[in-house]
Structure 1
Amino acid sequence: MLQPVEPGPAVVVCSTCRASAEAREDEGGRRGGALLAEAMRAVQEETPELAGVAVQEMPCLFACQRYCTVHIRASGKVGYVLGDFTPDREAARAILTYATRHAASEEGVVRYAEWPDGVKGHFIVRTPPEGHLCT
């Protein structure tokens, strides 16, 4: 059930998230999460400074009411689950910008003033790194 991936900063995208409240898939039969991951990779090709964060796909992050959902993580840092995204390049750019700043931070905490507008209001939960609790 577990698949090894390279360690390091990553955005884990729920590949099975709905495309919208009305539809599971787009007109081409692709799920919203898969479309969001595709948009992230396209943004990374256009903007190399956002390519330092891996885009990884995983079926179902169990946040089905908050599609499209992502988990931003890096070793030894606070992680975050965000949702309610439209699977497009604008959302992809905001997520990757935040994830890049998260990766560059000491503990995974990015000052609110540095959050891209596109992630504000999308946070669902924060997760402490193994062996730590947030204070």
Structure 2
Amino acid sequence: MTSITDKPVPPYIGQAPLVGRYYAAECTQCGWIGSSQELTDDCQCTRDVGDRYCLGDTDEIGAERLLGIVQGMAQAEPVAYQERKKTSREGSEWMPWSECSREHYEEWRGKTEPNSHGVIRQVRALSVCAAVPA
């Protein structure tokens, strides 16, 4: 059996919430991690791989593995920064993510209110996945 420290931070993370009777699952083929809600009836991975699904087998993962992933992601050094914007008008949609400077990221991180022109910004730091720490 592979130890938790031998597994890297997952390259793919599912988008469905982990609620109700669903559990955290990891694909043994592509490394995807997400809610069992996204799996096939046979518990196979449904991550898009070109024009098909991965269909790798999955294993249920526990709190120790999830904590290791979160810790590994938190310790990774950012390699780029991005922002996206929308106006505060009703029905406004987010623009696509675009690159921004570290200074811009630091200035807008944690701010949720629109600026004086009614523009709302979200910023994020992008990191290279490292090995999960022991």
TM-score category, normalised to shorter length: under 0.3
TM-score normalized by the length of structure 2: 0.25
- Which has more helix, going by share of residues? 1
As a proportion of its length, which structure holds more strand?
A: 2
* Structure index of larger Rg: 2
